[in-house]
């Protein structure tokens, strides 16, 4: 009985430091964002004091200009996620089919970019596409074009930069799933008369879906709110929601509008992730 | 059926070829830019496109660059403090959540996962607003000091986003934990503290180290949250690299990138060694 009482009181004690820290430096700041999004801005940044309540900034989100930026962010995130999954899944299959020793080396090759500073990698891909980068040098020296093409600062460059940045994030969870998949199930499906396509769609894909869904979340969430890649690869010309929010806290000095936009982004992402958890739970049940 | 059998091997062979090609293209795509970056860090002139001879001049300049060294020192300092605090708090939380039932436990579990899934930029601006519009005014009203953003606020923010990652990793390790080992230790007369020190902790150690490694990397690499909580006085390494990259392309950035690349490759190897041991 005494032990029981001690057990009950010890649990909360262990979580108190984290609970306090996250309560003060995570939950409370989020509540303040909600509050700030509902009051008028100050003249030179900050908010107007005394606080004046307004819904103006949420109404402004519906402005076609901002809706189009929001839509572009979602569209770019969908394209990048699809490309990462479509390229990453076959790579995961290839890795899991390799000899054990090769597999370790391949895994290392995927993990190195994963752990490398994101700015460094974005800089590397920017170098490739620059006026005297490798792509243009090849194009000019083979005579395919007369003068270097301007490959940077457009939507394609942003998408390419994002795929470059997040492909390893897609490969790793899919590899974890595909590696656990028992290849003999495909043989069984073939023996039962299924062709390759049917065996893949009905057996392999459903069983490796948790990995695919994890890849989707790991790529979509950071890409939809990305700042570094659109900023560096887009050169200020390709506005995404991340760069727009950043601008509200920089030159535009409109903290309430930036807060409203952040909340819109957060709600979008959290709904997406919840949807993922529900569909993930459904696919795991038949196993 | 027979047609399918006859077509099978050809389809499979084509499929295998496609898999190999896909892998070759992806690894070329991932590594060619890094390779070029690395090569031109040794270039003798300012060009990052035309090879003019081997030189270590750009590395020499890195080590003479005072603001770069200060940024590196800031990053390491923040990374170490954030890692130690987040690892201790995260591990304690994982133990508490795994072994005890208490009120608000489920709610807290959600709060612990949220920082991982919400966009980084939202974390960044929420902390900026919190420090500037809530914490600083309140503290300044009580104590006569003038507070600004700087190294302490960056560290506070990093601890906050590192705790959940440590928690998730240690919790996963606890999920496969054989509790009978602890019971055996208790039966053999070890008290609670000795059981933890001699049995639980050594078994958890790979998970704790893995969590610490993730926390350290996240802290060292973080740009967005840092940018919003740094103010103007104290850049970290990513902030410094960002300002360089914005200004243009120089072999000096290539050299710096190569140094960081070497550091992350060593980190990967350490983490793989840790996984192998566990």
pLDDT over 90, % of chain B: 59
What band does B177 get if pLDDT is binned at 50, 70 and 90?
A: confident
The residue-averaged pLDDT of A164-171 equals 96
B273 or B219: which leads in pLDDT: B219
**pLDDT at site A9:** 61
CB contact under 8 A, B89 and A91: no
Judged against a pLDDT cut of 90, whether residue A164 lies above it is answered with yes
**pLDDT at site B2:** 38
CB contact under 8 A, B159 and A25: yes
B90: left (phi over 0), alpha (psi -120 to 50) or beta: alpha
Q: Is residue B6 part of a domain?
A: no
The residue-averaged pLDDT of B234-239 equals 92
Q: Is residue B122 part of a domain?
A: yes
Q: Is residue B9 part of a domain?
A: no
170-209 in B: which are within 8 Å (CB) of A?
Answer: none
Is B168 an interface residue toward A (CB < 8 Å)?
Answer: no
CB contact under 8 A, B117 and A273: yes
Judged against a pLDDT cut of 60, whether residue A89 lies above it is answered with yes
Query: Is the dihedral angle over the CA atoms B67, B161, B92, B203 positive or is it negative?
Result: negative
Q: Is residue B20 part of a domain?
A: no
Closest alpha carbon within chain B to A51: B133
Judged against a pLDDT cut of 60, whether residue B209 lies above it is answered with yes
A108 or A281: which leads in pLDDT: A108
CB contact under 8 A, A91 and B23: yes
Is A112 an interface residue toward B (CB < 8 Å)?
Answer: yes
CB contact under 8 A, A22 and B31: no
Judged against a pLDDT cut of 60, whether residue A212 lies above it is answered with yes
The residue-averaged pLDDT of A214-234 equals 94
**How many domains in chain B?**
1
**What is the rounded distance in angstroms from the CA atom of residue A265 to the CA atom of residue B51?**
45
A278 or B194: which leads in pLDDT: B194
Judged against a pLDDT cut of 90, whether residue B47 lies above it is answered with no
Size of interface A-B (CB pairs under 8 A): 253
CB contact under 8 A, A113 and B121: no
Q: Is residue B12 part of a domain?
A: no
ipTM of the complex, rounded to two decimals: 0.89
Domain CATH for B242: 1.10.3720.10
B214 or A11: which leads in pLDDT: B214
Q: Which domain holds residue B261?
A: 65-277
DSSP summary character for residue B9: H
Q: Is residue B206 part of a domain?
A: yes
Q: Is the peptide bond before A141 cis (omega within 30 degrees of 0)?
A: no
Is B167 an interface residue toward A (CB < 8 Å)?
Answer: yes
Judged against a pLDDT cut of 70, whether residue A281 lies above it is answered with no
Q: Is residue B26 part of a domain?
A: no
**pLDDT at site B13:** 78
CB contact under 8 A, B126 and A32: yes
Task: Note if the pTM is more than 0.80.
Answer: yes
Domains of chain A in sequence order:
64-284 (1.10.3720.10)
- Give whole-number Cα distances, B92 to A22, A79, A252, B266, in Å: 14, 40, 42, 28
Among the residue ranges A67-76, A255-264, B95-104, the one predicted with the least confidence is B95-104
Closest alpha carbon within chain B to A112: B265
What band does A43 get if pLDDT is binned at 50, 70 and 90?
A: confident
The residue-averaged pLDDT of A180-185 equals 88
Q: Is residue B24 part of a domain?
A: no
Closest alpha carbon within chain A to B133: A46
- Sort out which chain A residues have CB atoms less than 8 A from B160's CB and list them: 21-22, 25-26
Report chain A's mean pLDDT, rounded to a whole number. 89
């Amino acid at each position: 009985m005494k032990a029981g009482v001690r057990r009950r009181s010890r649990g909360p004690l262990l979580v108190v430091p984290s609970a306090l820290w996250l309560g003060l430096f995570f939950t409370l700041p989020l509540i303040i964002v909600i509050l700030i999004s509902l009051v008028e801005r100050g003249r030179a940044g900050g908010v107007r004091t005394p606080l004046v309540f307004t819904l103006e900034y949420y109404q402004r989100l519906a402005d076609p200009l901002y809706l189009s930026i929001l839509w572009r962010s979602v569209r770019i995130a969908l394209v990048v996620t699809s490309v990462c999954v479509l390229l990453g899944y076959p790579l995961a299959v290839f890795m899991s089919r390799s000899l054990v020793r090769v597999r370790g080396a391949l895994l290392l090759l995927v993990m190195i970019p994963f752990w490398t500073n994101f700015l460094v990698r974005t800089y590397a891909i920017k170098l490739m596409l620059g006026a005297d980068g490798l792509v243009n040098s090849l194009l000019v020296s083979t005579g395919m074009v007369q003068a270097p093409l301007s490959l940077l600062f457009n939507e394609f460059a942003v998408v390419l930069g994002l795929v470059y940045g997040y492909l390893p994030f897609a490969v790793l969870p899919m590899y974890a799933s595909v590696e656990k998949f028992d290849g003999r199930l495909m043989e069984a499906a073939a023996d039962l008369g299924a062709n390759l396509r049917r065996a893949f769609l009905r057996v392999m894909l459903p069983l490796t879906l948790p990995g695919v869904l994890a890849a989707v979340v790991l790529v979509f969430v950071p890409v939809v709110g990305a700042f570094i890649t659109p900023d560096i690869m887009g050169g200020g010309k390709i506005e995404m929601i991340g760069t727009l929010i950043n601008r509200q806290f920089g030159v535009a000095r409109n903290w309430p509008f930036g807060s409203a936009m952040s909340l819109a982004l957060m709600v979008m992402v959290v709904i997406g992730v919840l949807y993922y958890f529900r569909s993930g739970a459904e696919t795991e049940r038949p196993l | 059926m027979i047609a399918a059998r006859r077509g099978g091997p050809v389809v499979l062979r084509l499929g295998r070829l496609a898999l190999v090609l896909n892998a070759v293209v992806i690894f070329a795509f991932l590594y060619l830019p890094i390779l070029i970056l690395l090569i031109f860090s040794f270039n003798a002139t300012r060009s990052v496109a035309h090879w003019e001879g081997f030189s270590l001049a750009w590395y020499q300049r890195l080590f003479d660059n005072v603001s770069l060294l200060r940024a590196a020192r800031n990053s390491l300092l923040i990374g170490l403090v954030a890692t130690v605090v987040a690892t201790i708090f995260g591990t304690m939380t994982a133990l508490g959540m795994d072994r005890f039932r208490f009120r608000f436990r489920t709610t807290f579990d959600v709060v612990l996962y949220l920082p991982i899934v919400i966009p980084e930029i939202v974390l960044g601006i929420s902390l900026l607003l919190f420090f500037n519009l809530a914490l600083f005014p309140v503290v300044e009203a009580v104590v006569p000091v003038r507070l600004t953003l700087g190294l302490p606020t960056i560290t506070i923010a990093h601890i906050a986003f590192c705790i959940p990652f440590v928690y998730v990793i240690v919790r996963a390790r606890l999920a496969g934990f054989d509790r009978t080992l602890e019971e055996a230790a208790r039966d053999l007369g070890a008290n609670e503290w000795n059981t933890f020190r001699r049995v639980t902790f050594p078994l958890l150690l790979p998970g704790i180290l893995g969590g610490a490694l993730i926390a350290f990397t996240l802290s060292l690499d973080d740009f967005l949250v840092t940018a919003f909580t740094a103010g103007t006085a104290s850049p970290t390494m990513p902030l410094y690299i960002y300002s360089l990259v914005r200004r243009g392309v120089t072999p000096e950035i290539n050299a710096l990138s190569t140094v960081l690349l070497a550091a992350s490759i060593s980190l990967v190897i350490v983490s793989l060694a840790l996984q192998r041991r566990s």
